[in-house]
Amino acid sequence: MKVTIYGSGYVGLVTGACLAEVGNEVLCVDIDPDKIERLQRGEIPIYEPGLERMVEENSRAGRLRFTLDPAEGVAHGLFQFIAVGTPPDEDGSADLQHVLAVAGAIGEQLQEYRIVVNKSTVPVGTADRVRERIGQALAGRGVQVEFDVVSNPEFLKEGAAINDFMRPDRIVVGTDNPRTAELLRALYAPFNRNHDRLLAMDIRSAELTKYAANAILATKISFMNELSNLAERLGADIEQVRVGIGSDPRIGYQFIYPGAGYGGSCFPKDVKALERTARDCGYHAELLGAVENVNERQKQVPFTKLQQHFGDLGGRTIALWGLAFKPNTDDMREASSRVLMEALWAAGARVRAYDPVAMEECGRLYGERGDLVLCDSAMAAVDGADALVVITEWKEFRSPDFFQIRDSLNEPVLVDGRNIYDPAQMATMGYTYYSIGRGP
Ligand code: UGA
């Protein structure tokens, strides 16, 4: 089948590569000439395990191509996927200008029946606006062409996106036309084997499902972070509480890990956007606001622990392990590491940072500055520092040489923002160890 995908960012590229991998002819359209040129050369703009190989092989086989030309895009695919970004506006709502610009471009070029598929995370009602924008462009041209608009949200996790796409838990298809649902069923057939995972529903429900999924996961995390602060004050251990409640299958073990707050391009943006959507229809969504506030506060916890230990942090040097918002990505959007670094700098401290893949991204975000040293290894970061803070739970941080770290630090102070170490072991080795929800 022929598929066109607008937007060669995270979602667009993964969708394009995976659809090409199973034999479809995919054309990716983007407005950024630099990005298209790099993709044509086989260079991937993001870090995602497995993606580079997939793009390279499918490009070589001629199943995956890249273009700047929307006219070529509209002519190519029966399926027209919109996978452009929806960054937050100043007021927290999702900015739809890129989505609507693609809709306009489709309307300008449409010659025969097309299925326009919204894959970007977009507020409820966006499919109607996309339909309207295409309709306006057609009316402007004085032509009538049949088309459908479908909501097909994605549930990919960064760092595991290929696997999530190839083996989805569910494929949500929001449409008001049963024939369109069947065409999408055919497109997704290679990913929908053994038992039926395709859930056809009405468009607005599909749009809301995406926000509901992210918001409930964010809620679980904020709930646990709230409880971790309470556990500290009550002398309880949140890790024991976590296992105690996770064993109830109604609660489950996943997404109840307390930590230094959630980050990334999705949870913070989507929780805010859903709250905003609620406000726009006259409903005050109390829980969503609280989830967001608890998260903002939680991102400050590692800094507060350092401050409580050292008092004034001016002139101190803090080693930081982990910059990405989570392991297996170089993405630092809304990362807790940024809140910590910025608080440390404001307090006059220096940072020696190390991350297995996000160093370049950190350099790009903050540039050269005297109070940030980007180190070549985890051990180099602790060298001569006053304390070590672990903020992202990369595998390589799980079992480091604690003796060497202790000897490299001026003072054996360790703030574990993800509870990856054992407090008893840390105490035996002479560390002053702070973690989340387990003691002061
Ligand atoms: C999230 C969802 O998990 C995906 O299902 C969804 O498709 C995606 O957003 C999206 O909307 O595009 P992602 O942002 O890649 O995926 O990352 P997650 O693995 O969900 O982690 C988000 C944040 O929560 C990270 O900062 C992580 O450290 C934090 N987290 C996660 C916790 O603090 N505790 C947990 O128990 C789990």
DSSP string, 212-263: HHHHHHHHHHHHHHHHHHHHHHHT-BHHHHHHHHHTSTTT-STT----S---
Q: Which of 150, 142, 62 is nearest to 110 (CA)?
A: 142
167: Cβ below 6 Å to ligand 1? Answer: no
Positions of CATH 1.10.1040.10 in the chain: 211-296
CB atoms within 10 A of CB 386: 19
Range 433-439 average pLDDT? 95
* Domain covering 2-201: architecture: 3-Layer(aba) Sandwich (3.40)
Residue 272, marked binder: no
Secondary structure element (H or E) that encloses residue 427, with its range: helix 423-428
In the prediction, which pLDDT does 440 show?
67
Q: Quick: pLDDT tens for 2-24.
A: 999 999 999 999 999 999 999 99
223: Cβ below 6 Å to ligand 1? Answer: no
Residue 428, marked binder: no
pLDDT of 129 higher than 80? yes
246: Cβ below 6 Å to ligand 1? Answer: no
The CATH superfamily label for domain 211-296 reads N-(1-d-carboxylethyl)-l-norvaline Dehydrogenase; domain 2 (1.10.1040.10)
In the prediction, which pLDDT does 94 show?
82
Give the pLDDT band of residue 66 (cuts 50, 70, 90). Answer: very high
pLDDT of 92 higher than 90? no
Q: Do the bridges between strand 317-321 and strand 2-6 make them parallel or antiparallel, or are there none, so unpaired? A: unpaired
Residue 258, marked binder: yes
- ipTM for this model: 0.94
266: Cβ below 6 Å to ligand 1? Answer: yes
Give the pLDDT band of residue 189 (cuts 50, 70, 90). Answer: very high
Residue of 223, 242, 266, 328 with the most ligand 1 atoms within 8 Å of its CB, for mutation? 266
Q: What is the dihedral of CA 368, 370, 375, 376, to 10 degrees?
A: 50
Phi, psi (5° rounding) for residue 116? -95, 120
In the prediction, which pLDDT does 123 show?
92
Q: Quick: pLDDT tens for 216-244.
A: 999 999 999 999 999 999 999 999 999 99
pLDDT of 159 higher than 70? yes
Q: Which of 70, 101, 48, 86 is nearest to 4 (CA)?
A: 70
46: Cβ below 6 Å to ligand 1? Answer: no
What's the CATH fold of domain 299-434? Rossmann fold (3.40.50)
Average pLDDT of the residues of the chain: 96
Which residue has the CA at smallest separation from atom 19 of ligand 1?
A: 157
Rounded distance, CA 263 to CA 334, Å?
Answer: 5
Q: What is the dihedral of CA 400, 401, 407, 412, to 10 degrees?
A: 40
Among the atoms of ligand 1, which is closest to the Cα of residue 156? 7
In the prediction, which pLDDT does 90 show?
82
Positions of CATH 3.40.50.720 in the chain: 2-201, 299-434
Q: Looking at 18, 266, 362, 375, which residue is catalytic?
A: 266
pLDDT of 204 higher than 80? yes
Rounded distance, CA 288 to CA 427, Å?
Answer: 38
Global pTM?
A: 0.94
Q: Quick: pLDDT tens for 164-181.
A: 999 999 999 999 999 999
In the prediction, which pLDDT does 357 show?
95
Which residue has the CA at smallest separation from atom 33 of ligand 1?
A: 262
Say what percent of the chain tops pLDDT 90: 94
Range 249-269 average pLDDT? 96
Edge to edge, the sheet with strand 350-354 lists: 372-374, 350-354, 317-321, 387-390, 413-416, 432-434
Q: Quick: pLDDT tens for 332-348.
A: 999 999 999 999 999 99
Among the atoms of ligand 1, which is closest to the Cα of residue 335? 26
28 catalytically annotated:
no
In the prediction, which pLDDT does 118 show?
97
In the prediction, which pLDDT does 47 show?
87
